[in-house]
């Protein structure tokens, strides 16, 4: 599940700069309510985990392996959307 993927992401020791996450979120429509400080602090970890999960979904749906098509990426994104 999500928590297991989060642990695997942490093991990779990948870091997403908070600024990058906030810049990405700035392109999204404004939220109805502000984020709590604790959630905002954990955004890099949460987004990193979602990217980790999406990468694994792409790997599963892509028959070409290392060169997924845009359709494969879109399909993986739809699967992620349905499960979130």
Kindly report the CATH number assigned to the domain that includes residue 74. 1.10.20.10
- For residue 13, pLDDT over 70 is answered with no
Q: What is the extent of the structural domain holding 29?
A: 2-83
**Could you report the per-residue pLDDT of 21-66, keeping only the tens digit for each?**
667 777 777 778 888 889 888 888 888 889 889 989 999 998 776 7
Number of structural domains in the chain: 1
Q: Is-contact 16 47, C-beta < 8 A?
A: yes
Instruction: Say how far apart CA 8 and CA 3 lie, in whole Å.
Output: 9
Question: What is the pTM (predicted TM-score) of this model?
Answer: 0.71
- CA-to-CA dists, residue 4 to 13, 33, 50, 62, angstroms: 15, 28, 12, 23
List the structure tokens of 64.
């070409």
**Could you report the per-residue pLDDT of 64-79, keeping only the tens digit for each?**
767 888 998 899 999 9
pLDDT for 14:
60
What's the pLDDT band for 4 if we cut at 50, 70, 90?
very high
């Amino acid at each position: 599940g999500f928590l297991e993927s989060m642990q695997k992401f942490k093991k990779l020791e990948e870091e997403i700069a908070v600024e990058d996450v906030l810049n990405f979120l700035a392109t999204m429509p404004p939220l109805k309510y502000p984020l709590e400080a604790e959630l905002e602090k954990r955004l890099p970890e949460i987004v990193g985990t979602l990217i980790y999960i999406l990468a694994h979904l792409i790997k599963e749906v892509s028959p070409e392996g290392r060169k997924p098509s845009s359709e494969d990426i879109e399909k993986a994104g739809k699967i992620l959307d349905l499960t979130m």
